[in-house]
Amino acid sequence: MTSVRPYLTVFRMRFVLMLQYRAAALAGFGTQCWWGFIKVMVFAAFFRSTTAHQPMNFAEAVTYVWLGQAFLALLPWLSDPDIAQMVASGNVAYERLRPLDTYFYWYARAMAWMIARALPRALMMFAFACLIVPLLGMGDWRLRLPATPESAALFIGAMAVTVMLSSAMVMFLNLGCVITLSERGVNSLVVPFVLGLSGSIVPLPFFPNWLQPLLFAQPFAGLVDIPYRIYFGGLTGGIAIAGIAQMLAWTIVLGFVGHRSLRTAMNRLQVQGG
């Protein structure tokens, strides 16, 4: 417990610090409401224009959209801005002097950073999409509650693993920032993969059937598609549990590789700035 306490302290301090940015949370919430309505309108037009069987019905697609907007800040498309600033200034050299494991220290920071940014927006989004949208006369466009109590419990577990998986991916962005001495390249490269392969733009079930096994197995599916389909009952029982187990396995693999890679990179650290 003594060895874990410093990382818990780092997590708590970063979490409390990020919660202070209330204006950013409100601005993000407003933007995500706007894009949420745009995406729902796209799906409404799509379902009205086709009579073919679809892998999701309209209610499930709408729920998928609102969940995506609620938890958008959990997507790992940016390296930790504080790490990027330390690399640019040369202060990253001080990280080698800390009596802590650099990987887990940065991992705790990344996890707190993402949770603190996502939590206020998610709470506001659930209140808005579940309660306010129906009051505006758009009941078909509302965010539904979980399909069953079992789905709700599995969703909570899946989102906990999603946070861990996303933090492990952010650590790879931090690693790329340390190696290349800039965050711009790695951030630009990862965005298309995160948005496309997670299901954030187009839900993965709408892709061709022959591609479904590969899409389900790749790590980005655990960021959006698997937990959201568990929420509305698209994945149940053993398949849902298998999806969560797969997400956890990817988290362990990425954490192991990232830990060893960051240790090597810090041993060969080049410092600029000053």
Q: Report the 10 Å Cβ neighbour count for 140.
A: 12
Q: Which residue has the tokens 């600029």?
A: 272
Task: Lowest mean pLDDT of 23-27, 187-191, 268-272, name the range.
Answer: 268-272
Cα 117 from Cα 171, distance rounded (Å): 17
Using a pLDDT cut of 70, give the percent of the chain over it. 97
Average pLDDT for the chain: 92
Cα 233 from Cα 162, distance rounded (Å): 18
Q: Residue 2 above 70 pLDDT?
A: no
Token pair, residue 186, equals 């790695």
Q: Helix 149-180 and helix 102-127: axis angle, to 10°?
A: 130
Confidence at residue 272, expressed as pLDDT on a 0 to 100 scale: 61
Token pair, residue 16, equals 């409390």
Q: What is the pLDDT of residues 30-78, one digit of tens each?
A: 999 999 999 999 999 999 998 888 999 999 999 999 999 999 999 998 8
Cα 158 from Cα 248, distance rounded (Å): 9
One DSSP character per residue, 224-266 reads THHHHHHHTTSS-HHHHHHHHHHHHHHHHHHHHHHHHHHHHHH
SS3 99: coil
Q: What sign for the dihedral angle of Cα 182, 186, 187, 188? A: positive
Q: What sign for the dihedral angle of Cα 141, 147, 153, 157? A: negative
Contacts of 160 (CB under 8 A, 6+ apart): none
Q: Could you tell me which of 147, 170, 155 has the C-alpha nearest to residue 243?
A: 155
Confidence at residue 98, expressed as pLDDT on a 0 to 100 scale: 86
Cα 217 from Cα 227, distance rounded (Å): 14
The average pLDDT across 228-237 equals: 94
Cα 124 from Cα 130, distance rounded (Å): 10
Confidence at residue 184, expressed as pLDDT on a 0 to 100 scale: 86
SS3 178: helix
Q: Residue 262 above 80 pLDDT?
A: yes
Cα 65 from Cα 39, distance rounded (Å): 7
54 and 206 Cβ atoms separated by less than 8 Å: yes
Q: Residue 96 above 50 pLDDT?
A: yes
Q: What is the pLDDT of residues 154-203, one digit of tens each?
A: 999 999 999 999 999 999 999 998 888 888 888 888 999 999 999 999 99
36 and 133 Cβ atoms separated by less than 8 Å: no
Confidence at residue 273, expressed as pLDDT on a 0 to 100 scale: 55
How would residue 1 be classed by pLDDT, with cut points 50, 70 and 90? very low
Domain map of the chain by residue range?
A: 5-267
Token pair, residue 217, equals 């197995």
32 and 121 Cβ atoms separated by less than 8 Å: yes
Using a pLDDT cut of 90, give the percent of the chain over it. 74
Confidence at residue 3, expressed as pLDDT on a 0 to 100 scale: 83
Inter-CA distances, 137 with 41, 70, 207, Å: 15, 21, 32
Task: Give 129's DSSP letter.
Answer: I
Token pair, residue 188, equals 């630009």
